[in-house]
Amino acid sequence: MTAAATARTLHVAPDKPGAYATIGDAVREAPDGAAISVAAGTYPETFELVGRALTLRAAEGATVCLEISDGDRPVVSLRQGSLTLQGIDVRTTASGIRAEDAELTVERCTVTSRLGPAIGIRGSRRFLISGCTLSGAEQGVTVESSSGRIESTSITDVGGDGVVAGLGADPSIVDCVIAGCGQRGIYVYQYARPVIEGCDISRTAREGIAVVHQSVPRIRHTTVHDVNGAGIAFGPGCGGVVENCRLDNTADPDIELADGADPVIIRLAAEPARPAAAEPGVGGLLAELDAMVGLPAVKAEVRAVVDEIQVNEWRRRAGLSVGAVGHHLIFAGAPGTGKTTVARVYARLLRELGVLSGGKFREVSRRDLVGQYIGHTAEKTSLVFEECKGGVLFIDEAYTLSRQAGSGGDFGQEAIDTLVKLMEDHRTEVAVIVAGYTGEMMDFLAANPGLASRFAKTIEFEDYSAPDLLLIIERMVADADYELAADTTPVLLDHFARIAGTAGFGNARDARRLFEGARKAQSRRLRGLGRMPDIAELKSLLAEDVLGATG
């Protein structure tokens, strides 16, 4: 009997009789070669596997999250054996996935971590990271003494290097987007020989790609742009090939060669570099959405809208009937929860899916729609709507237009009445998103009998948790070239836990205000030193700076 014939599938579903209540229970019972299918849910579990051969995958259509908010161990640790992860979200304040002397496959997974690499691989004969979204870690992927492939993966907003390849590693890094790194986009060291092809690297504090310690990479059809250091830098004794790459808005020189570096550089005008991220496509935009902190329900709702649009298009091509699909949405929730950012991504998704011709995004408020006299409002609203054809009209604090809000008046009501007609007459040309507090939006919808029926769906934006806000402020700090001292973490978590849910809670806006306050407190502290601080002191934010901002 073959191994395929004896392979088993175990099911994890805490609320279903006959299924395993936890992933850990299924892992303990699973024979080698088994697959574990996990129902939708959040599972506060970590795993240390030694010599096992397993597949762990989300059940069809399910959102599965391994979430750990404390501790310093990787969520998934593998030594020897083999492991395949498919469609799993990993969220942790520690490190994500580690594999040593093992075969690792990670497909369509999201890893949001804080310590160490999101995925770390050492001594692997074969690995695959495909279609993943990695963010928030100290490094995106580290590969040492290993062979494998990283493909179609987004690595964003990491504190250090996006990808590290070292100790003789020879991975293929293909069609990846690497952006927002506190150090380098890709760091190649100690005799590594990676192939880097079709990647887009941007917004790094240092070089886009740095090659040191006798390493010999092959870099082809790759775009490096908007980086603070050289586009590609080779250290002494390094070689390799740079072929048909585009380097734009980098430090001078765009390719930096140290004494003794000897790469072959081929630039062919007849074969322009492939701008991998010039237009990320639906997959890239969904990866961008997934990279946002928190908002699991929002991400699921947007994906559901995308799925419906895509399936309807397939039905249309097959000659099947397709029902009318509305693209107008309501974003309900407190300020600072990412509503505007999600709306921008939604606009680009509608363009990529062929729903809208332009994907233009226009954000307006009451003052952009309401005039100074009767009749003027209808004119202003119609003009704004006309300018948004082919794109998305985003109305922030839309409830201020209604009479019930107390400030809307008849002119605000005129704007609502005009919008109701325009949204119906041009429902295939403009997508309207209205946003505001949940309670007040109910009053807004009651302002006109036909208004509520114009919207296909209401998406609720929940408040960020304290760990979410910690990750948000850490990204802000890294983007501004600062560093949080280790003793700031408990202070920040305590502060965010105290203010969460209070009157006037601003979510990410409060995180931004706290960061700005900590910077001011640091400035006062450094000015009091009586000397010029060194670079480490200039970058470091201490617990006393954070306490000074919260006081």
pLDDT recorded at residue 293: 83
Nearest CA among 350, 417, 344, 425 for reference residue 386 = 425
Q: What's the mean per-residue pLDDT of the chain?
A: 85
Q: What is the pLDDT of residues 48-77, one digit of tens each?
A: 999 999 999 999 878 899 988 776 789 999
pLDDT recorded at residue 306: 82
pLDDT recorded at residue 210: 96
pLDDT recorded at residue 278: 44
pLDDT recorded at residue 280: 60
426 neighbors 384 (Cβ within 8 angstroms): no
Q: Is 10 left (phi over 0), alpha (psi -120 to 50) or beta?
A: beta
Is the pLDDT assigned to residue 101 strictly greater than 90?
A: yes
Q: What is the pLDDT of residues 497-547, one digit of tens each?
A: 888 877 777 788 888 888 888 888 888 888 888 888 888 888 889 988 888
| pLDDT confidence bin for 267, thresholds 50/70/90 | low
Q: What is the pLDDT of residues 373-405, one digit of tens each?
A: 666 788 888 888 887 888 888 888 888 887 544
Amino acid at 170: D
Amino acid at 447: A
pLDDT recorded at residue 268: 40
pLDDT recorded at residue 345: 84
Looking at the chain, the whole-number percentage of residues with pLDDT higher than 70 is: 93
pLDDT recorded at residue 274: 40
Assign 149 to helix, strand or coil: strand
Is the pLDDT assigned to residue 167 strictly greater than 50?
A: yes
Is the pLDDT assigned to residue 410 strictly greater than 60?
A: no
DSSP 355-403: SSSS-EEEEE-HHHH--SSTTHHHHHHHHHHHHTTTEEEEETTGGGGSG
pTM of the predicted model, to two decimals?
0.51
pLDDT recorded at residue 549: 83
| pLDDT confidence bin for 407, thresholds 50/70/90 | very low
The residue whose two tokens read 């150090």 is 183
Q: What is the pLDDT of residues 448-507, one digit of tens each?
A: 888 888 887 888 888 888 888 888 888 888 888 888 888 888 888 888 888 887 777 778
Looking at the chain, the whole-number percentage of residues with pLDDT higher than 90 is: 35
